[in-house]
Structure 1
Amino acid sequence: MTAADRRDHLAGRLAAVARGDRDALHDIYDLTSAKLLGIVLRILHDREESEDVLQDVYVAVWNRADRFDPARASPITWLATIARNRAIDRLRALGPRRFAAPIDEAGELADDGPDPLARLESDDEARALRRCLETLEAKARASIVSAFFEGRTYEEIAARERVPLGTMKSTIRRGLIRLKGCLEP
């Protein structure tokens, strides 16, 4: 199934949800829950809160599916926007208490973060990676960033760039080989 077919199928299922079809909502959940949970987790960094927000997202989809307009956005973009907004709302609602712990527990908390020397080394590595990424051609750089830093699939990137999947895989592979060569001492 091509990306366009998936988009059309999802748009059709959203239209069915707007008509009150519960099976269509179940299909949408099966098709999108993993991606939407990933979006919410990136914002909240808490699995339990993220699962609660995901449930709110599908309640919103059930109540607002009639507002989806395929001329304005793809179905996954519309769903991801709802998920993102709900996650941000939850983050704001949690506020500072999310990270609050009684002061008595402070002595028992270990700092599992890297020590200053390790931080310096990772900063050097990050600078080297940025420098090496800049040496790549724009398409390879954008594709690598999308795949490895934004979590996009090769299929999504190929569809966005309007190139065959094999071409995108080759572009990313060649870029990674150049990147490796640049990063090696």
Structure 2
Amino acid sequence: MPETLFDYPACLSACARGDQRALRQLYEQDSSRLLGVALRIVRDKALAEDIVHDAFIRIWRGAGSFDPVRGSARGWVFSVTRHLALNHVRNQHREVALGEEHEQLAADTVTFEFPARSGQMHTCLEQLDPARRTCILHAYVDGYSHSEIAQKLGTPLGTVKAWIKRSLTALRECMA
């Protein structure tokens, strides 16, 4: 089912009413993407699979708490998964070791490139200032905390927080 046709709010409402088919449809729609989100954060496939499983349990149990005023239904689903993965990393007090090749690449990378220039999200991201775009991608793709981003970029924490907040507002406006 194409993303543009999938009705996330209706799906979450159905889950809140106990409709297991709705949960199955949501799983079929986004489980692979959610696995990608979790995998980027925890860097362990088996652990990422467990996190996605736990996320769907949490989505099932908490679907009734989704508030469309606070954001999109799809965003809520992804944030449940992202927060579970980040919480796991934080609770384990561990750092994920990268190989030398990846560490050098991360050290040399100042901005992100977008080889695939299709899609509205890429267009909206490209409209952001490169430093702000980097903050957003580090936060929501790499799973870095605000303080980790500040340290990585050598930028004050308050500045990073402000950039992320303003950039999210700009992205919401661009995507609307």
Q: Please classify the TM superposition score into its range, dividing by the shorter chain length.
A: 0.5 to 0.7
The answer to whether structure 1 residue 64 and structure 2 residue 62 are counterparts is yes
CA apart distance, 1:36: 1.1
Shift of 1:28: 0.5
SS at the partner of 2:67? coil
Partner of 1:12: 10
Aligned 1:16-165 pairs, distance under 5 A: 16-96=14-94, 113-114=100-101, 126=108, 145=113, 147-148=114-115, 154-157=118-121
Secondary structure of 1:154's counterpart equals: coil
Q: Which protein is bigger by CA-based radius of gyration?
A: 1
Structure 1 position 49, deviation (Å): 0.6
Q: For residue 113 of structure 1, report the CA deviation from its aligned partner.
A: 2.6
Q: Deviations over 1:42-90 (max 9, x none)?
A: 1100001100011000000010000112232112210111111100111
For structure 2, the residue ranges without an aligned partner over 5 or more in a row are 126-176
Residues 153 and 33 from structure 1, CA distance in 2 versus in 1: closer, same or farther, beyond 3 angstroms?
farther
Sort the Cα spacing of 1:2 and 1:37 in 2 relative to 1 into closer, same or farther, 3 A.
closer
Structure 2 counterpart SS, 1:71:
helix
**Which whole-Å CA distance do the structure 1 matches of 2:16 and 2:117 have between them?**
29
Q: Provide the alpha-carbon RMSD of the alignment.
A: 3.5
- Using the aligned pairs only, state the percent identity: 26
Choose 87-96 or 56-65, whichever is displaced more: 87-96
Which 4+ runs in 1 deviate beyond 6 A? none
Structure number having the greater helix percentage: 1
Distance of 1:84 and 1:123 partners within structure 2: 21
Deviation at 1:16, TM superposition (A): 0.2
- TM-score (normalised: structure 1): 0.54
Aligned residues: 123
